[in-house]
């Protein structure tokens, strides 16, 4: 009898240890560790980038936009400033995001206007990416919002990749993500986004992986909306990592100057 009780206690302790997992400071699972490495590669304290954004509709119509973007993470605060360089009808439009606050500057309006939280879930400048997608791919990373599980190690375009399943820590825009990560460079090669009904809605693929300032970067990304049939291609024209960016850049004053 005593032996049975002792066995039960041991089983309970083992199950408890397994259930407690990382929340109790135990080692990260393999999937979590891989995702942490991805964040380390993709995330930076600051970034200044010029990108060409090509929006492609389901019937092949294209619109090109050039944007300049600054990102910064400091003092526990995430900041992003975006300005449109072209085409002429949107040139001078600017957007500032400081944590959960967002402001938009439209040259025709001549003033900065706060925009509501729902805009953050919406399309980033008419593209197939949301503002949250941009944040995660930019400075914020994925670990803060998702817990990862390693599904398998497989080949993707002749390179060894980790296949992760990411589940949100809190309910949000997506019910889950599936991510294929280059095992050597820790860069995502493909991300599948599933909506709250579990349907595949978007697929991100990365191309032209290159080494910039000692870190791997995808010079080209494509987000394809599986339901609308539209695509957005982002091409990096220039990028600088971890340069000192004055905090005063991330203010509405910069927007009001028409940057």
Partner 1 sequence: MRIRQLGMALVVLIAFLTLVSFPVGASIRLGGEVTVGLEYTIEDEDVGGNLAVDNELLLTVRQQTSSAGLSAGIKVTERVLSLDQAYVDFYRSDLDLRVGKQRIAWGTALNVNPTDVLNPADPSDPLGDKRPVWAAVANYYLDHSWKLTGAILPIFEPAVSSLPNVDVVAPEASWENAEYALKLAALGLNGFDFSVSYFQGKEDYPSVRSTPHGPEGYYDNLRVFGFDAATVYGDLGLWLEGASFQPENKENYAQWIVGADYGLANGLKLIGQYFHLDTGHQQASYLMGAVEKDIGFRHRGRIGLLYNRDTQGWAVLPELTSSLADGLEMAAGARLFNEGAGGLELALLEETNQVYLGFTYSF
Question: Contact letters (x/-) for partner 1, 61-100, by CB under 8 A?
Answer: x-xx---------------------xxxx-x------x-x
Question: Contact letters (x/-) for partner 1, 221-250, by CB under 8 A?
Answer: -------x-x----------------xx--
Q: Is 82 in a helix, a strand, or coil?
A: strand
The Cα 40–Cα 43 span in angstroms is 5
Nearest Cα to Cα of residue 223 among 149, 126, 148: 126
Question: Contact letters (x/-) for partner 1, 39-58, by CB under 8 A?
Answer: ----------------x-xx
Nearer to partner 1, 38 or 129 (CB): 129
Q: Are 221 and 234 in contact (CB under 8 A)?
A: yes
The Cα 132–Cα 129 span in angstroms is 8
Nearer to partner 1, 69 or 115 (CB): 115
The Cα 119–Cα 133 span in angstroms is 13
Residues whose CB falls within 8 Å of the CB of residue 33, separated by 6 or more in sequence, listed in order:
none
For partner 1, how many residues bind (rule: CB under 8 A)?
42
In angstroms, the Cα distances linking 113 to 77, 103, 105 are 21, 5, 6
Residues whose CB falls within 8 Å of the CB of residue 161, separated by 6 or more in sequence, listed in order:
153, 154, 155, 180, 181, 182, 183, 189
Question: Contact letters (x/-) for partner 1, 100-139, by CB under 8 A?
Answer: xx-x----xxxxxxxxxxxx-xxx--xx------------
Beta bridge partners of 153: 162
CB of 39 to partner 1, least distance (A): 27
Nearer to partner 1, 21 or 126 (CB): 126
Nearer to partner 1, 109 or 160 (CB): 109
Nearer to partner 1, 103 or 146 (CB): 103
CA dihedral over 170, 173, 174, 179, signed as positive or negative: negative
Residue 168 engages partner 1 in binding (rule: CB under 8 A): no
Nearer to partner 1, 112 or 217 (CB): 112
The Cα 202–Cα 226 span in angstroms is 5
Residue 4 engages partner 1 in binding (rule: CB under 8 A): no
CB of 247 to partner 1, least distance (A): 7
**Applying CB under 8 A, which residues contact partner 1?**
55, 57-58, 61, 63-64, 86-89, 91, 98, 100-101, 103, 108-119, 121-123, 126-127, 228, 230, 247-248, 251-253, 256-258
């Amino acid at each position: 009898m005593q032996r049975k009780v002792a066995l039960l206690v041991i089983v309970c302790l083992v199950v408890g240890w397994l259930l407690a997992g990382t929340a109790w400071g135990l080692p990260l699972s393999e999937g979590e560790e891989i995702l942490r490495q991805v964040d380390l590669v993709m995330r930076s304290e600051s970034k200044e980038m010029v990108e060409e954004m090509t929006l492609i509709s389901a019937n092949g119509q294209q619109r090109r936009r050039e944007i300049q973007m600054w990102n910064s993470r400091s003092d526990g605060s995430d900041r992003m400033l975006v300005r449109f360089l072209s085409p002429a009808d949107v040139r001078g439009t600017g957007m500032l995001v400081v944590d959960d606050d967002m402001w938009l500057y439209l040259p025709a309006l001549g003033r900065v206007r706060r925009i509501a939280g729902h805009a953050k879930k919406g399309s980033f400048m008419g593209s197939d990416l949301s503002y949250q997608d941009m944040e995660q791919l930019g400075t914020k990373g994925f670990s803060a919002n998702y817990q990862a599980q390693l599904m398998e190690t497989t080949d993707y375009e002749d390179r060894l990749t980790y296949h992760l399943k990411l589940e949100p820590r809190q309910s949000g825009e997506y019910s889950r993500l599936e991510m294929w990560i280059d095992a050597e460079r820790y860069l995502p090669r493909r991300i599948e986004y599933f909506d709250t009904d579990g349907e595949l809605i978007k697929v991100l693929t990365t191309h032209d992986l290159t080494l910039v300032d000692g870190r791997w970067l995808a010079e080209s990304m494509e987000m394809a909306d599986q339901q609308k049939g539209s695509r957005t291609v982002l091409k990096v024209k220039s990028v600088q990592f971890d340069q000192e960016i004055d905090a005063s850049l991330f203010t509405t004053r910069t927007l009001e100057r028409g940057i």
